[in-house]
Amino acid sequence: MKNLKYISLALLTGLVFIACEKEDDGPVDPIATCTDGIQNGDETGVDCGGSSCAPCTTVTEIPAIYSFQRNGESTVSFSGQTTRLMMAIEILGLLRDNTSTEAQIMAAYNHQEGVADFSDAELNASDKQVRNKTAGSYFFQNFMPSIASSAVVADFEGFVTGQVNEVFPAWNTVAAAGNAGQIADGSSTRYVNAKGLEYDQAFIKGLTGAFVADQIVGNYTFPGNLERFEAANDEGTIVDGKSYTDLEHDWDEAYGYFFGLAADGANPLAALLEGGTPGDFSSGDDEFLYKYVDNVEANFEGTAETIFEAFKAGRTAIINKDYVERDVQADILREQVAFVVAVRAVHYLKAGGNMAASPGTRLHDLSEAYGFIYSLQFLLEPGTNDEFYFTRQEVEDFLDTIYNNPTNGFWGVTTADLNSVAEAIAVKFSFSVAEVE
Amino acid sequence: MKGKAHWILTILSALFIWACSSTGDDTPITDDDGVSLTFDRGAMLENWADNIILPSYNQFLVDYAAFKADFESFQNDRSGSNLIALRSSWVDAYLSWQSISPFEVGPAEDNGLRLNVNTYPTDVALIGTHISSGSYNLDLSSNRDSKGFAALDYLINGIGGNDAEIVQVYTDAITGDAHVAYLGEVINDIDTRVTTVRNAWQNGYRDTFVQNDGSSATASVDRFVNDFIFYYEKFLRAGKMGIPLGVFSRTQTPTLVEAYYYPQLSNQLFLAGLSTVEDFFNGKAFGSSRTGESLASYLTTLNQITLRNDIRNQFSSARTAVSGLGPFRAELENNSPAADMFAAYDEVQGAVALFKVDMVSAMSIAIDFVDADGD
């Protein structure tokens, strides 16, 4: 099927070439063709070279994998993102251990350099943390600081407090409508509050938006942030002691939030695209977008490749100092990141509405839905400066419908309620609720 | 003259065709040989419920009562010979469990019977905590790996290095009674759960099951065939062989075999499970050689004789391959990779595609289970 696509693409391209060559027979207007964005006349590149236009500068081609060099040395680095992703996973481990204290979990969330918050000594030594990157993007810090610091961080700290004070004390009791406790979900055991919510799921899936997606779309690919580093990039100014420009590094950091835990960081889709089936694709330890893009692939093949291509093309555009093209790729990333989050939200709403499934299975699906829905408020819309697919208010309304308003929360929510939210999410995108399995 | 004959022939042929096709109008769909292709799904459900499922539950409870009686004796006289008797009836009950484990529908599904009764490996440390604290709730799902047949395996076969040591544990002046009490609780837990499920079948679910004889995704046949294939794939193939072999994790792990502390039983448990699958497929009444409507006769009616025979032959190949193996635990501990066990696994695997692709497509049944997303 893929081959067929390429063949038809090649055929189409051939036809276009034939058409173009005929047009090129006529006289050429050099002033018009040097700015029309296509290679024509005797130009040796797009709008450059030949007898009329300015000489071409060497243009870097988009590589097959995420690998970029300067003077034979790699310029790619995203170790800080890998560190933060691993910290988030350790915090999740603490949330799932009923011997953790509230202070201990909060300290890990708000990690300070040198403090032994984690089991991994390298994480303890790091000056990075997750809390200051929760709604911590350039966008939130500059345009919505009060929401970021008071509302969003407070939500996540509330999940921690709830887990320790409501769920831990009920750890060894059977959960029921109105009672916190544990409940079977297949061979797994889930731990829920009195309304059926797993706070650890709300926390980790909520971070998919507030932490990972926000850092990608609101920070490291956000044009208003990146333009501050364009002049230095134009001059080729290298960051002290490093091999990259600031701007190159910013883009890599966005990439690191998506693919930072891939076994092969330069070629994270290898396992998926080279003969692997989506279900067998291993996203390693990741708990965020890299993990869930695999599930999205099952219904929407090509999503992972589109995202990977956009990361490579945007990084290449930065090397070529082509910031228009960079922002085109940033828009593709906004669209695709939002798509992954929205598809997963709808998937879990549908699963949670399957009344034939066991209560524990449904509560788990709904808890995941809660986190992905929470994440929707961090998805910037392509082609806008400050528009989101969903406002915080819209997200709160969704959560009211599925969780806050029904009697005993998830225990009382109806399939109709869940479907209404699924429809309201899908309508903003190019997919239908029925397409999501 | 010649022209006239042509006309007559044409008219006659037309009449002949009309006559032939009109005879087919009121008869059921037939194949080329005139054999009826309709199949009575209700009769198959009745055969399943009355001749296979319910008798299997009843026989399990009979076997289990014998095991309980041996426990009573052991409790009163904790001798080596009573331990041996207890072990012997535990083996019978565990084998008997394999003839009801696949039937995780209706009340069994609602009660999560399989995971409550046979989650392995068992958590030895958790069992120790329960015994020493004396405070535990066997209804908690987080306690499923401290009870069931796997916990009994540890308590009866693995809690000491030999029978004398095991008897020592239960006769210890300080902790012996607590151990016996826990053993008793675990034994009762299984009894209560299976009895609940059997009673639900007797008191209404049998009729619900048989009467839901349509062919929608929620009809009994469609759902049961899904559950049945799920059992074959996840619990027989993967649980008993594939997971300890490391087929999915790439790490061979002998501690994951069923009946780890009584390794000579693991293969028998697998073969008992395979027999249940085979007899169910063929519609063979429990404890008898009589057969009734079944997946096999359904395939026969659909003219899928080759597929039916392929499935039967695949069962037979799997049985032969597994029967030739040493105890799974020894195969895994002594060979890396355990090549013979892998080869046998391939024969077991061979039936999955036949069931999951060919058989369900012939019967127009949709597979509705997917792998859990792993979190």
B83-132 pLDDT, tens digit per residue, is 999 999 999 999 999 999 999 999 999 999 999 999 999 999 999 999 99
Residues A114, A245 share a domain: yes
CA distance A257 to chain B (A): 20
A63 is a domain residue: no
Smallest Cβ distance to B140: which of A174, A186, A356?
A174
Q: What is the mean pLDDT of chain B?
A: 90
Residues A391, A275 share a domain: yes
Is B77 within 8 Å of chain A by CB? no
CA distance B223 to chain A (A): 12
Q: Which domain holds residue A36?
A: 2-57
A67 is a domain residue: no
Q: How confident is the model over B324-334, as a mean pLDDT? A: 97
Residues A33, A132 share a domain: no
CA distance A177 to chain B (A): 16
Q: Searching chain A, which residue's CA lies closest to the CA of residue B113?
A: A186
Q: Do B112 and A184 touch (CB under 8 A)?
A: yes
Q: Searching chain B, which residue's CA lies closest to the CA of residue A281?
A: B373
Is B216 within 8 Å of chain A by CB? no
B355 is a domain residue: yes
- Better-predicted residue by pLDDT, B328 or B28: B328
B108 is a domain residue: yes
Q: Report the residue of A92, A99, A189 to disrupt the B interface, i.e. the one with the largest count of B CBs within 10 Å.
A: A189
Instruction: Indicate the number of domains in chain B.
Output: 1
B28 is a domain residue: no
Smallest Cβ distance to B141: which of A183, A279, A356?
A183
Whole-number Cα distances in Å, A269 to A78, A264, A273, B133: 17, 9, 6, 50
CA distance A357 to chain B (A): 10
Q: Do A360 and B141 touch (CB under 8 A)?
A: yes
Is B27 within 8 Å of chain A by CB? no
Chain A residue numbers touching B137 (CB-CB < 8 A): 172-174
A-B Cβ pairs (cutoff 8 Å, strict): 32
A72 is a domain residue: no
Q: Do B119 and A184 touch (CB under 8 A)?
A: no
Chain B residue numbers touching A98 (CB-CB < 8 A): none
> What CATH number does the domain containing B118 carry?
1.20.1420.20
Smallest Cβ distance to A184: which of B141, B371, B372?
B141
Chain B residue numbers touching A200 (CB-CB < 8 A): none
Residues A49, A84 share a domain: no
Q: Searching chain A, which residue's CA lies closest to the CA of residue B106?
A: A356
Q: Do A172 and B112 touch (CB under 8 A)?
A: no
Q: Do B112 and A182 touch (CB under 8 A)?
A: no
Weakly modelled stretches of chain A, pLDDT under 50: 1-5, 7-26, 274-280
pLDDT at A387: 94
pLDDT at A49: 75
pLDDT at B179: 98
Residues A53, A118 share a domain: no
Chain A residue numbers touching B371 (CB-CB < 8 A): 279
pLDDT at A264: 87
CA distance B10 to chain A (A): 50
A144 is a domain residue: yes
pLDDT band at B26 (very low <50, low <70, confident <90, very high): very low
B71 is a domain residue: yes
Residues A356, A207 share a domain: yes
CA distance A358 to chain B (A): 8
Residues A253, A336 share a domain: yes
Residues A42, A169 share a domain: no
Q: Which domain holds residue B353?
A: 41-363
pLDDT surpassing 50 at residue B24: no
pLDDT digits (tens, 9 = 90+) for B254-264: 999 999 999 99
B324 is a domain residue: yes
Chain A residue numbers touching B218 (CB-CB < 8 A): 356
pLDDT at A309: 97
Is B140 within 8 Å of chain A by CB? yes
A174 is a domain residue: yes
Q: Which run of H or E residues covers position B77?
A: none
B111 is a domain residue: yes
pLDDT at B8: 52
Residues A156, A26 share a domain: no
CA distance B141 to chain A (A): 5
Chain B residue numbers touching A279 (CB-CB < 8 A): 371
A234 is a domain residue: yes
Q: How confident is the model over B335-348, as a mean pLDDT? A: 96
A70 is a domain residue: no
B20 is a domain residue: no
Residues A256, A149 share a domain: yes
Is B89 within 8 Å of chain A by CB? no
A73 is a domain residue: no
Residues A311, A227 share a domain: yes
pLDDT digits (tens, 9 = 90+) for B68-83: 999 999 999 999 999 9
Residues A158, A29 share a domain: no
Q: Do B141 and A295 touch (CB under 8 A)?
A: no
CA distance A201 to chain B (A): 10
Q: Searching chain B, which residue's CA lies closest to the CA of residue A348?
A: B373
Instruction: Indicate the number of domains in chain A.
Output: 2
Chain B residue numbers touching A172 (CB-CB < 8 A): 137, 140, 142
B263 is a domain residue: yes
